[in-house]
Structure 1
């Protein structure tokens, strides 16, 4: 299965980059992973709601161009549905059984995702009730995808 991680912005924190590299390397045993980084809009402080929406819309246009027409797409949003690690593994397995060979995970930028992206996605997923930076969300998601593949292959992984 091809897994695409479509994300606004690049990683800046070295420790997150190292963690992301580690899980990307581990995932290479199970899947082809492509990380697609989309340029983030420059932000200034004290943006109005209209300005924030305009920025999210500009980022959404770039995200939508990168989403595959044949992939099952999962957008990350704090208002999405929660899922356990075993639930994610089961979902990936079910998608493969349904004939999907490609999976897009989408992570927004600092302001989150525009509704256009969430509406276009097949599923909207929340990683937690807590709020994470988009960089942390990327690391956590990569770890959870890795964990899902370990579960699917019946392999041990720490709890």
Structure 2
């Protein structure tokens, strides 16, 4: 069975995001073993310097990289990533296992984004648009899009 891991920085504080994430994780369980991996976020001073921000990115980035296996296929969500449609994501999820990957890691950074090291580890960088979403909401959107991708691949009317 395919393993889908959504690796993220920081805990969700809002109950409604947690509930939505739990619902999509439950729905995904019929297609793949799905896991949300949360790494601790670094406290960011209000008026952090560029150097402080870089240091925070590096620390969070290392925590993310520690969760990624050497044989995992890694897709990072980054604003500069390739804009993809739901059918394109469905196609990716169908093709990646054919290349011998059994685990697909989707990575979402913290409030400062992702370190260069994490972006360099990525097999693909994707974007859901040029807007900035709260990171907790991005998790919900991602999990829904992964579910939608499986439904597309199944030929379900869920995707209209």
Does the 8 Å contact 2:28/2:34 carry over to 1?
yes
Matches within 5 A, 1:16-95: 16-95=17-96
Q: Give the length in aligned residue pairs.
A: 159
Cα distance, 1:45 vs structure 2? 0.5
Write the distance in 1 (CA, Å) between the matches of 2:98 and 2:121.
22
Moved over 6 A (4+): none
Does the 8 Å contact 2:151/2:159 carry over to 1?
no
Aligned to 1:145: 146
Structure 2 unaligned regions, length at least 5: none
Deviations 1:93-127 (A, max 9, x none): 11122221110000001111011100111111111
Write the distance in 2 (CA, Å) between the matches of 1:88 and 1:81.
11
Deviations 1:135-157 (A, max 9, x none): 11101000000000111111120
Write the distance in 2 (CA, Å) between the matches of 1:24 and 1:90.
20
Q: Normalised by the size of structure 2, how large is the TM-score? A: 0.96
Structure 1 unaligned regions, length at least 5: none
